[in-house]
Each structure stands twice: as C-alpha cells, then as structure tokens.
C-alpha cells in the first residue's frame, strides 16, 4: 500500500513537473496562470487535470477545442510515479527518501527540457547542489565529504571533456549545463555514484548516437542531448551502483 501511495503521489508531482518542463525554458512563472490548453488557452478544469486518468477519459484531447494532448504529459506522470514507487520500495520512508525523491524529480525535469531544447536549466541544478549538501549533513549517507568530492571531481572531469573536446574538434563536446547536472548528481549521491553515472551515461550516449548515425537520423556534426543519459546513469547508480562496484572489484580478483 505504501508503494501504491508513493506511485499516486509521484503522478501528482509529475503533473507539476510537466508545468515546469513547459514553462521554465520560456522563463514563465510555474505558479501563474493556472494550467491551460496550449492550443486554445482555455484553463483546464480540476477534474480534467487528474494525473493519467484525465488523459484516458478525454482520449488524449482537449475538452474545449479537441486539440491533441501530447503523450509526453502522461509519460512524465507515469515515469515520476514509477521512480517514486521504486524509491520508497527500495529505501523505505524517511528523510533520506524525501531528499532522493526531490533529486529524482529534478532529473525528470532537466531530462525532458534537454530533449526538447538542448538546455539544462540552472534554475533546477544550481539550487539543488546546496540541497544535496544539506542532505549530507542531515542524513549522512553518503557522507558530506563524499558529496563534495563527487561534485568537484565530476564537474571537473566534464569540464576537461568540454574544454579539450572543443579544442580538438572545433566544437563543444557537451554543454555547460551538463557540468551543473553532474555536480548536482555528485551532491546527492557522492563520488562513487558519479563514476558510474559518467560511465553509464557515456556508454548509452555513444550507443544511441552511433545508432542514429547508422540509421541516418543524425549527422556526425549534430549533437544529441547528454543530460538524459547522465540522468539515466544516475538512476542506475542510485539503485544498482554498489552491486556494479562489487561485481567489478570481484572481476578484478
């Protein structure tokens, strides 16, 4: 029952995250005006704003004008609900879980904004970094020192990639927003998770990039957003990081 309630709560949070994803790149308030149809600007009634259910009841269309509702909206709600349910099921209820839920919500926002606009908003990452340090003081695991090292080392490594990638290839290998994102991940999960995040993110990003080039959906000079791959790497590090480290050390023996 706790996991089910966590999923329901996550879908409600996901509905708010949809507002952030839509409005933050436009530098609009995420509070006012109330949610409205992007096509006809009609305010959405509370009963038509129920996470997941309203999309099914309305058959994916605005009640007022009949415009199609993007599948991204229920996707974000379901994804956030799933992440919240998995986190509560794995770590239980507590202050550490509350911080992790806030962290995962921020990953959802930056991932979809990066996919849409190829930017990672500082309004999410920069305030989140000190929040991760506060979590280290209040929760303790991982310790504050591990979080500091993760933030500095992770951002420093990506800065070198950014600098030397631009020098060698004449274009940016990644954006500065990726540095802030990896710093955020380090602040919440520590340096060990940062190592896994970068490895998984680079592996997945390279695989998808090569696949798109082979399918001729992407040229060699085009970029794909790296933020979603870092976010996915962070999720892998959060749930399976210690097992991956143990497997790797065992393989070395």
* Predicted confidence (pLDDT) per residue in 69-86, tens digit: 899 999 999 999 999 999
130, 177: one domain = yes
Alpha carbon distance 231, 225 (integer Å) = 11
- Give yes or no for residue 167 having a pLDDT over 70: no
Residue 23's pLDDT band (cuts 50, 70, 90) = very high
45, 157: one domain = no
118, 240: one domain = yes
Which residues partner with 36 through β-bridges?
Answer: 43
Q: What is the pLDDT of residue 124?
A: 95
Which of 91, 109, 137 finishes a domain?
Answer: 91
Q: What is the pLDDT of residue 46?
A: 86
137, 251: one domain = yes
Count of residues making up the chain: 253
Mean pLDDT for all residues in the chain: 90
Domain of residue 31, residue span: 1-91
240, 157: one domain = yes
Mean pLDDT of 39-61: 89
Mean pLDDT of 42-53: 89
pTM, full prediction: 0.91
145, 98: one domain = yes
175, 79: one domain = no
Q: What is the pLDDT of residue 201?
A: 93
Mean pLDDT of 184-193: 95
- How many CB atoms are located within 10 Å of the residue 90 CB? 12
223, 235: one domain = yes
Which of 36, 59, 91 finishes a domain?
Answer: 91
How many domains does the chain divide into?
A: 2
With b meaning 16 or more CB within 10 Å and e meaning fewer, what string describes 163-185? eeeeeeeeeebbbebbbbbbbbb
Q: Among 40-49, 120-129, 143-152, 226-235, which is the least confidently predicted range?
A: 40-49
Q: pLDDT higher for 38 or 6?
A: 6
Residue 154's pLDDT band (cuts 50, 70, 90) = confident
74, 105: one domain = no
76, 150: one domain = no
Q: What is the pLDDT of residue 166?
A: 56
Q: What is the pLDDT of residue 155?
A: 86
Q: What is the pLDDT of residue 106?
A: 97
HEC profile of the chain: CHHHHHHHHHHHHHHHHHHHHHHHHHCCCCCCCCCECCCCCCECCHHHCCCCHHHHHCCCECCCCCCECCCHHHHHHHHHHHHHHHHHHHHCCCHHHHHHHHHHHHHHHHHHHHHHHCCCCHHHHHHHHHHHHHHHHHCCCCCHHHHHHHHHHHHHHHHHHHHHHHHHHCCCCCCHHHHHHHHHHHHHHCHHHHHHHHHHHHHHHHHHHHHHHHCCCCCCCCCCCCHHHHHHHHHHHHHHHHHHHHHHHHHHC
46, 159: one domain = no
Peptide bond into 33 cis (omega under 30): yes
132, 231: one domain = yes
CB 13 within 8 A of CB 80: yes
- Give yes or no for residue 7 having a pLDDT over 70: yes
Q: What is the pLDDT of residue 175?
A: 73
Which of 91, 116, 145 finishes a domain?
Answer: 91
Q: Among 12-16, 65-69, 79-83, 183-187, which is the least confidently predicted range?
A: 65-69
């Amino acid at each position: 029952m706790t996991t089910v309630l966590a999923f329901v709560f996550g879908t409600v949070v996901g509905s708010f995250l949809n507002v952030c994803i839509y409005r933050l790149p436009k530098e609009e308030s995420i509070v006012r005006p109330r949610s409205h149809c992007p096509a006809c600007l009609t305010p959405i009634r509370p009963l038509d704003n129920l996470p997941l259910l309203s999309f099914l009841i309305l058959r994916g269309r605005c009640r007022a004008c009949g415009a199609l509702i993007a599948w991204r909206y229920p996707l974000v709600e379901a994804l956030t609900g799933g992440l919240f349910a998995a986190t509560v099921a794995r770590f239980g209820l507590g202050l550490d879980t509350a911080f992790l839920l806030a962290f995962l919500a921020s990953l959802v926002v930056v991932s979809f904004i990066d996919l849409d606009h190829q930017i990672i908003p500082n309004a999410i990452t920069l305030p989140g970094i000190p929040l991760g340090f506060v979590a280290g003081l209040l929760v303790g695991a991982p310790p504050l020192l591990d979080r500091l090292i993760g933030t500095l080392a992770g951002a420093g490594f990506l800065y070198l990639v950014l600098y030397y990638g631009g020098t060698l290839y004449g274009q940016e290998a990644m954006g500065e927003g990726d540095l802030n994102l990896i710093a955020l991940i380090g602040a919440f999960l520590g340096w060990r998770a940062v190592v896994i995040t970068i490895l998984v993110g680079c592996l997945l990003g390279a695989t998808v990039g090569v696949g798109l080039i082979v399918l001729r959906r992407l040229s060699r000079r085009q970029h794909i957003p790296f933020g979603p791959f870092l976010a996915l790497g962070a999720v892998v590090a959060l749930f399976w990081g210690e097992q991956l480290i143990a497997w790797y050390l065992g393989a070395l023996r």
